[in-house]
Amino acid sequence: MTTRWTYNDCHFLRSEKPRKTQEEGKDQGSGATSLRKVLLRSLSALRQRLMMAWNPCDVRFILVAAALAFILLQVHLFTTQTEYAERLATAIGAENQCSSHTRLLIDQISMQQEKIVKLEDLNRRYEEESAQLKTLVRDLEKKSLQTIFEKAEAPVAAVVIMACNRQDYLKRTILSVLKYQSTVASKFPLFVSQDGTNADVKKEALSYSQITYMQHLDFEPVHTERPGELIAYYKIARHYKWALDELFLNHNFDRVIILEDDMEIAPDFFDYFEAAATLLDRDKSIMAVSSWNDNGQVQFVHDPKTLYRSDFFPGLGWMLSKPTWEELTPKWPKAYPIFSLYLIYWIRHVAINSKLFNEELSLTCHTYWDDWVRLKDVHKDRQFVRPEICRTYNFGEHGSSMGQFFKQYLEPIKLNDVHVDWKSVDLSYLMEGEYHKHFAKLVSDAQSVPEPDVVLKAKKLDYDDGIPRTAYKGVIVFRYRSTKRIFLVGPNSLAQLGIDHD
């Protein structure tokens, strides 16, 4: 067994023994010095042998362990660096991709902005060209109309047919009008006003040399005021205002007759309106003259010469004057609001029948511009002239009003088929003061029919702002399969007519 000494053990021996020798050397004298030298040489030799006896394998083991530790450290550092490098590369790639998308979006936005600028410039040029064309057309129309007027007498009224997208209806209406207008064309210049861009309607209107074509282009979106309202009513109201402004304010006509694109006219249509124009000019209590009778079904009419005044605006082929339009145009309605069909039904059929409704109650459930004209605040107690037998016939089963009540009320209407010489008919009885006395006498001379069954059959009346349809002073007059008139008299009608009621 080999005993290994460390360098420290040798050093201990070396330091202890000289100290012991010194203690003993006090007695031995100088011989100790020589012994010390010998001992030191022995220890030095022993030290050298011990150093030479060190195993080289221990050094290699340490070096291998250190090398392995170094390699592991390098591998760990390399792995960490690789991971961070990959993350950095991914981040750089994402940043580059984001930058690329950003540049692409910027380029696209720039291209769109350039397109917008070009479109705005193009639109501006189109608007300028359109304005120039409109001015040119207006000037040409005025010149052509002036030429017509110079060659003939002043017109009685312009006649405008309001059209939109029903080419077949428009053709039927135009042919009916031209059939009787050709002999009085100078008195009644004919216009077609189209709302929108329907190509078939425009082509149809432009195919007649006797007609002046007008086009209403309205691209402003319609915003209804209440849910359930029909956009068509708003567009129609805008079209009416535009067309009447054109004819009264730009063309400067004194009177205008408004027809719709689903109407046929009677043989004496133009003579009737020419005679009525004098009434319209002389009597300011007459707001308009109509060719329509809402109760003009064949079983309720008889005399083609009879005319009436009414507090209810009939519409459907009517004439008004320029001063009246100048009053109406600033406050012309957008469409006039609809609350709901259920509310209208309740008011007109439940409240009326259950006596919760009377003449003084003002209805506000209107859905169209003509209902607006029927408001007392609008007509201001002025009245309307209407015939007993209609001078227009409405054949439009399909349209904006969706054919409501056509079969029941419009289809049975009688269109006058005889020519009345209106120039020989005395219409002075229709003047305000004369008519009141004339109508009061008719009612006063009528035989009273108090039977409740007759009264009950006539209780479902149609009102607008408290005024029964076709009524004058609350009295509705019609005939029933005979020449005799029947008067439905309201609760306050006799008092309004100045008739004593016992």
DSSP string, 362-420: PP----SHHHHHTSHHHHTT-EEEEESSBSEEE---SSTTTTTTIIIIITTBPBP-S--
Task: Tell whether 111 is covered by a domain.
Answer: no
Task: Tell whether 16 is covered by a domain.
Answer: no
CA pair distance 120, 313, nearest whole angstrom: 46
CA pair distance 302, 478, nearest whole angstrom: 9
DSSP assignment letter at 295: T
What backbone torsions phi and psi does residue 103 show, to the nearest 5 degrees? -65, -40
- Identify each DSSP E strand in 136-254 by its residue range: 158-163, 190-195, 211-216
Task: Tell whether 194 is covered by a domain.
Answer: no
Type of residue at 82: T
121: its two tokens: 């410039």
The predicted pLDDT at position 361 comes to 38
Q: Which of 283, 370, 371, 426 is catalytic?
A: 370
Please name the residue that has the structure tokens 């022995």: 42
397: its two tokens: 């089963």
Task: Tell whether 265 is covered by a domain.
Answer: yes
CA pair distance 430, 385, nearest whole angstrom: 8
Which residues, listed in sequence order, are joined to residue 308 by a DSSP beta bridge?
Answer: 386
CATH number, domain of 262, equals 3.90.550
Task: Tell whether 135 is covered by a domain.
Answer: no
283-333 pLDDT, tens digit per residue, is 999 999 999 999 999 999 999 999 999 999 998 999 999 999 999 999 998
Active-site annotation holds for 370: yes
Helix extents (H) in 29-55:
31-52
The predicted pLDDT at position 364 comes to 40
Task: Tell whether 336 is covered by a domain.
Answer: yes
The predicted pLDDT at position 139 comes to 67
Q: Residue 388 in contact with residue 293, Cβ under 8 Å?
A: yes
pTM: 0.67
Q: Residue 143 in contact with residue 235, Cβ under 8 Å?
A: no
65-88 pLDDT, tens digit per residue, is 888 888 888 888 888 888 888 888
Who contacts 6 (Cβ-Cβ below 8 Å, separation ≥6)? none
351: its two tokens: 């409240």
Task: Tell whether 145 is covered by a domain.
Answer: no
Q: Do the strands 383-387 and 286-290 form a parallel or antiparallel pair, or are they unpaired?
A: parallel
Which residues, listed in sequence order, are joined to residue 387 by a DSSP beta bridge?
Answer: 307
The predicted pLDDT at position 16 comes to 43
- Identify each DSSP E strand in 20-104 by its residue range: none
Task: Tell whether 418 is covered by a domain.
Answer: yes
Range of the domain at 462: 171-179+257-497
The predicted pLDDT at position 59 comes to 67
Type of residue at 48: Q
204-231 pLDDT, tens digit per residue, is 999 999 999 999 998 888 777 777 677 8
Residues of the chain with pLDDT under 70: 1-33, 35-36, 43, 46-59, 139-153, 228, 335-367, 399-405, 450-465, 502
Please count the structural domains in the chain: 1
Q: Is 86 helix (H, G, I), strand (E, B) or coil?
A: helix
